[in-house]
């Protein structure tokens, strides 16, 4: 079925059980036009009045029964507004929902693209990808989006062109809103990551973007960028402490181990010393106290030093959850020993000064432990390779 006219788009959305949700906060200057344009393509529009203090209530009353209005007594944040809108859509029996911002940056005509995606990619969480190089695109938005794209790929292994666009198609039967999601702009990244982790397909489709003169944006670059950064740190920590180790153990079969050894050691063109150096770097970064960023830094250093990235990343898993308590205790003990200071286990008279001392002891010990373990790992790997008959870079292990 061709989708081009508003009537054909409306028919597809009706057939597929899709509505549109629109969170709004103090966007009275653009709200009426955005609602009117959306209603040309969809009969089922849910607007969330997120504690607006301008003329929004009067504008919403003008549309009467044409729209479903949720009203928050206070401004609870875009994340809460989106979540409540999605929950209302679920309660009304919709299977999909398209989210659109009310500030005029999105074109309602692009709903046709989401309707087409609804037909061709059912069950997919579709994000409208903006042209980040377009004239008038705020530089801060461009940087924040590229930053978010990088972390999303690290956290999920999926590459998207735009992860921050609010113009989306949500498969309501597949997403989970029961978790403790964040309440601000970072909600859109969090639900995207958790959906990908759950196995929901995610994809981009191109959408247009414009910034009208009367557009009001409530995105606070410093505050919201900081919150998104904190969220990414938490998500990467979840990956580091749970998802990556779990994936590592699932793949730890004899067939995979044999294949890994065959590709990266037996038939590797690299010398024994460079293979041992790859193991050494991985072990060092795996113990270094930069939790959540160890594998990222290990990969970057392996690239700069031209070492085997696969071996480095595998070796960096030395800090798997079962070993973490021993690594932390060993680091703290070593730091105290080197500094000639006692280990502190009591919370009596604990202060910021004491906390600073403990942190210094731990960081120093962790760096020393990383250096010690990595040096031993180099020596052990090199010795084993020689003992197995791999005398030069062309030999196989006998």
Asked if residue 282 lies in contact with residue 320, where contact means CB atoms within 8 angstroms, the answer is no
Give the Cα separation of 350 and 340 in Å (integer): 20
Instruction: Name the nearest CA neighbour of 239 among 153, 179, 130, 347.
Output: 153
pLDDT at 225 > cutoff 70:
no
Mean pLDDT of 47-52: 95
* pLDDT tens-place string over residues 52-77: 999 999 999 999 999 999 999 999 98
Nearest in space to 328 (alpha carbons), one of 285, 281, 365, 373 = 365
Mean pLDDT of the chain, nearest integer? 84
Give whole-number Cα distances, 15 to 152, 215, 227, in Å: 33, 33, 39
Q: Give the pLDDT confidence of 163-185 residue by residue, as tens digits.
A: 989 999 999 999 988 765 666 66
Give Cβ neighbours of residue 11 (< 8 Å, ≥ 6 apart): none
pLDDT digits (tens, 9 = 90+) for 7-26: 999 999 999 999 999 999 99
Residue (of 167, 90, 159) closest to 126 by Cα position: 167
The pairing of strands 168-171 and 125-129 is antiparallel
Tokens of 62: 């003008």
Burial 157-190, CB ≥16 within 10 A → b, else e: eeebbbbbbbbbbbbbebbeeeeebbbbbbbbbb
Question: Tell me, what's the pLDDT at 216?
Answer: 57
Do 173 and 253 contact (CB within 8 A), yes or no? no
Task: For 234-267, write each residue's pLDDT tens digit.
Answer: 887 788 777 777 776 776 676 766 776 677 677 7
Q: Is the pTM of this model over 0.75?
A: no
Q: Is 218's pLDDT higher than 60? A: no
> Can you tell me the distance from the alpha carbon of 119 to that of 103, in angstroms, rounded to the nearest whole number?
28
pLDDT in tens, 335-376: 999 999 888 766 566 677 777 888 899 999 999 999 999 999
- pLDDT reading at 314 higher than 50: yes
Please list, in sequence order, all residues whose beta carbon lies within 8 angstroms of the beta carbon of residue 215, skipping any fewer than 6 positions away. 27, 29, 30, 103, 104, 105
Q: Is the pLDDT of residue 149 over 70?
A: yes
């Amino acid at each position: 079925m061709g989708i081009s006219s508003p009537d054909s788009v409306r028919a597809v959305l009706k057939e597929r059980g899709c509505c549109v949700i629109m969170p709004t906060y103090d966007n009275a200057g653009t709200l009426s036009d955005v609602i009117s344009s959306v209603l040309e393509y969809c009969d089922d529009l849910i607007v969330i009045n997120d504690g607006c203090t301008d003329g929004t209530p009067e504008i919403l009353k003008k549309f009467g029964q044409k729209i479903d209005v949720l009203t928050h007594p206070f401004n609870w944040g875009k994340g809460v507004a989106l979540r409540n809108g999605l929950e209302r859509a679920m309660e009304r029996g919709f299977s999909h929902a398209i989210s659109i911002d009310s500030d005029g940056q999105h074109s309602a005509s692009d709903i046709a693209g989401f309707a087409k995606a609804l037909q061709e990619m059912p069950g997919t969480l579709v994000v409208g990808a903006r042209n980040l190089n377009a004239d008038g695109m705020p530089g801060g938005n461009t940087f924040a989006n590229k930053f978010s794209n990088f972390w999303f790929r690290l956290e999920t292994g999926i590459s998207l062109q735009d992860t921050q666009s609010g113009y989306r198609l949500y498969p309501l039967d597949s997403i989970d809103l029961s978790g403790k999601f964040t309440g601000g702009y970072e909600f859109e990244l969090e639900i995207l990551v958790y959906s990908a982790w759950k196995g929901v397909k995610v994809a981009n489709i191109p959408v247009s973007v414009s910034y009208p003169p009367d557009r009001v944006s409530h995105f606070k670059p410093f505050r919201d960028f900081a919150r998104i950064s904190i969220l990414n740190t938490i998500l990467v920590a979840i990956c580091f402490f749970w998802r990556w180790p779990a994936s590592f153990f699932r793949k730890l079969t004899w067939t995979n181990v044999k294949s890994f050894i065959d590709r990266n050691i037996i038939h590797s063109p690299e010398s024994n010393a460079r293979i041992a150096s790859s193991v050494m770097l991985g072990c060092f970064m795996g113990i270094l106290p930069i939790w959540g960023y160890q594998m990222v830094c290990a990969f970057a250093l392996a690239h700069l030093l031209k070492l085997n990235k696969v071996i480095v990343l595998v070796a960096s898993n030395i800090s798997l959850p079962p070993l973490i308590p021993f690594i932390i205790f060993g680091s703290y003990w070593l730091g105290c020993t080197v500094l000639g200071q006692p280990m502190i286990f009591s919370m009596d008279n604990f202060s910021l000064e004491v906390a600073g001392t403990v942190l210094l002891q731990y960081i120093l010990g962790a760096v020393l432990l990383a250096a010690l373990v990595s040096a031993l790992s180099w020596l052990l790997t090199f010795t084993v390779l020689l003992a197995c008959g791999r005398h030069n870079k062309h030999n196989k292990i006998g």
